[in-house]
Amino acid sequence: MKIRDVFLSISYFLNKVEPLKIFFSKAISITKKYSRRSLPYLFMMPFFAYIMLTWIGPVVITIILSFTKTQWTITNMRFIGLKNFEKIFTRDIFAFDAFKVTALYVSTVIIINAFFSLILAIFTTYFIKNETIASGIRLLWLVPRITPAVIYAVLWRWFVDPDIGMLNRLLSLFGLPAPSDWRLTAPYSQILMILINGYVGASFGMIIYSAAITSIPRELFYAASVDGASDWQIIRRIILPLLKWPVFFVTSWQTLSLLSSYEHILAFWGEAGTARAAEVEVWALYSYTKAFYDDEYGYGAALSVFLVIIGMFFIVIFFKIFGFRRMMQPSRVEV
Partner 1 sequence: MNSKSIYRSKIRKYRIKKALTMLFVYSVLLIPLIPILLMLGWLFAQSFSEGPTNTVIPRGFTLENFKFLWARIRFGLSEYPTIWPLVMNSLIIAIATVAFEVPIAALAGYSLSRMEFKGRTETMRLIIALHAFPGVILLIALFYILNRMGLYGKGLLTLLGVALIKAGLSVPMDTWILKGFFDGIPWELEWAALVDGASRFKAWRKVLLPIIAPGISAIAIFSFMSGWGEFLLAYTYVKRKELYPLSVFLYSVLGEFVFVDWGLLAAITLFYIAPILLFYALTQKTLLKLQLVGAVKG
Q: In sequence order, which residues have a C-beta less than 8 Å from that of residue 307 and are 6 or more positions away? A: 259, 260, 283, 284, 287
Amino acid (one-letter) located at 179: P
Q: In sequence order, which residues have a C-beta less than 8 Å from that of residue 283 and are 6 or more positions away? A: 95, 98, 99, 101, 102, 259, 303, 306, 307
Residue 119 CA to its chain's centroid (Å): 22
Decide whether 17 or 245 has the Cβ nearer to partner 1: 245
Q: Which stretch binds partner 1 (CB under 8 A): 9-17, 171-179, 217-225, 291-299?
A: 291-299
End-to-end, the C-alpha distance of the chain in Å comes to 27
Q: Which stretch binds partner 1 (CB under 8 A): 12-20, 127-135, 215-223, 238-246?
A: 127-135
294: contact with partner 1 by CB under 8 A: no
Cβ of residue 18: shortest distance to partner 1, in angstroms?
26
Q: Contact, 70 vs 84, CB < 8 A? A: no
Burial call 194-220: b when 16+ CB within 10 Å, e when fewer: bebbbbbbbbbbbbbbbebbeeeeeee
The residues that bridge with 69 in the sheet, in sequence order, are 78
Q: Which stretch binds partner 1 (CB under 8 A): 92-100, 184-192, 236-244, 309-317?
A: 309-317
Decide whether 238 or 256 has the Cβ nearer to partner 1: 256
Site size toward partner 1, by CB under 8 A: 105
The residue from 27, 74, 224, 229 that contacts partner 1 (CB under 8 A) is 74
181: contact with partner 1 by CB under 8 A: no
124: contact with partner 1 by CB under 8 A: yes
Q: Contact, 280 vs 273, CB < 8 A? A: no
CA 212, CA 246: separation in Å to the nearest integer? 8
Cβ of residue 61: shortest distance to partner 1, in angstroms?
4
Q: Which stretch binds partner 1 (CB under 8 A): 11-19, 32-40, 85-93, 235-243?
A: 32-40
Amino acid (one-letter) located at 80: I
Cβ of residue 259: shortest distance to partner 1, in angstroms?
7
Cβ of residue 19: shortest distance to partner 1, in angstroms?
28
247: contact with partner 1 by CB under 8 A: no
59: contact with partner 1 by CB under 8 A: yes
Q: Contact, 109 vs 101, CB < 8 A? A: no
Neighbours of 80 (CB within 10 A): 14
Pairing of strands 77-79, 68-70: antiparallel
Decide whether 80 or 142 has the Cβ nearer to partner 1: 142
31: contact with partner 1 by CB under 8 A: no
The residue from 95, 98, 201, 289 that contacts partner 1 (CB under 8 A) is 201
- Give the residue among 330, 109, 121, 136 at the shortest CA–CA distance from 243: 121
Decide whether 44 or 103 has the Cβ nearer to partner 1: 44
**Interacting residues with partner 1 between 77 and 116 (CB under 8 A):** none
Cβ of residue 278: shortest distance to partner 1, in angstroms?
14
Decide whether 108 or 304 has the Cβ nearer to partner 1: 304
**Interacting residues with partner 1 between 129 and 158 (CB under 8 A):** 135, 137-151, 153-158
